[in-house]
Amino acid sequence: MSKPFVVIGSNSFSGSNFARYLLKQGHQVLGVSRSAEPDAVFLPYKSDPSYSDLFKFFQGDLNTDHRAVVDLIRDFSPKYVVNFAAQGMVAQSWDSPEDWYQTNVVAQVRLHDELRKLRGLKKYVHVTTPEVYGNTDGWIIENNNFAPSTPYAVSRASCDLHLMSFFRAYQFPVVFTRAANVYGPGQQLYRIIPRALMCARTGQTLQLHGGGQSVRCFIHIGDVAEATYQVALRGESGQCYHISTSQQMTIKGLVEHIASMTGVAFSDLVEISDDRLGKDQAYLLSSAKLREELGWTDVVDLETGIAETLDWVEANLETLLDQPQAYIHHK
């Protein structure tokens, strides 16, 4: 049965893939993002013209177009709202932290204060981040203490705490997801996997901060979309669910694998640079709760997922060369 979903941050990598997932299920989707829709190479929901009958896009900034966005959502009468919108990029948040707090806390609080009054809303899924935990030791579960170490992480932790106060005070039907490092075809080119693949294919040098010693888990966007859908439909309000694989790898190991599969010498591909300020060396998320309570499992292994992403890079290389290769901050 078709269900109306609002996807906030529908232009983002995770948001656009989740929108496509919903459209494939036959759901009606209202996508909201503060930027205009980018090139279709970054929008998987553009892959099938038939989706246009189910999808509506609205360009609106939660900071400056608050009323217009809220009115549109109210008129759409969604059963589910899934919010991927956030000012991202950990390192850049040190440059103007007030922008991160404005977008990730103040604008979000204003939105939630309207959504809590929305009739018929079954679930609000807040897509947050493991950055709220700071540097961790071993596999962590969802009730791990917050210890954010950057302005970005502080802003996301603040919003999570605010939402829990709304859950307790108003029974606001919020549920949280925190995913490991997401990747796959269509990801922005400044992220580590597409950036490394682009460098390997174009002869550019990849800056490997701190020698790539940080430990991460990488999870395919298709698995994340499926998990997010299950959390929206069956997750328990007030709860958080980790979305992660059990395979951990250093950033250096990841880039070595990419160098090997693309036939480029690792020493030719990378240049070692200083580590970023406040960078967490490790956060490993246990996804046992999601697996045991909702029956989710990841199906795309890292080697297959990187190969799939390389195919996307090679098939769209001319277009991608004309796209921004570095992050551009918008206030």
- For residue 277, pLDDT over 70 is answered with no
Q: Does a structural domain hold residue 80? A: yes
Q: Does a structural domain hold residue 174? A: yes
| Local confidence band at 330 (pLDDT 50, 70, 90 cut-offs) | low
Amino acid at 274: D
Q: How many CA atoms lie within 13 A of 265 on its CB side?
A: 3
Q: Does a structural domain hold residue 99? A: yes
Q: How many domains does the chain have?
A: 1
Q: Does a structural domain hold residue 40? A: yes
Q: Does a structural domain hold residue 192? A: no
Q: Does a structural domain hold residue 129? A: yes
Give the residue numbers spanning the domain of 15: 5-182+218-243
CATH number at residue 108: 3.40.50.720
Cβ atoms of 150 and 94 closer than 8 Å = yes
**Percentage of residues in the chain with pLDDT exceeding 70?**
97
Q: What is the pLDDT of residue 275?
A: 75
Cβ atoms of 123 and 46 closer than 8 Å = no
**Percentage of residues in the chain with pLDDT exceeding 90?**
83
**Residues 242-275 pLDDT 10s:** 999 999 999 999 999 999 999 999 999 999 888 7
Q: Does a structural domain hold residue 32? A: yes
Hey, how many other C-beta atoms are within 10 angstroms of the C-beta on 317? 13
Q: Would you give the distance in Å from CA 227 to the centre of its chain?
A: 13
Phi-psi region of 239 (alpha: psi -120 to 50; beta: other; left: phi over 0): beta
Q: Does a structural domain hold residue 160? A: yes
- Per the listing, tokens 């030791």 go with 137
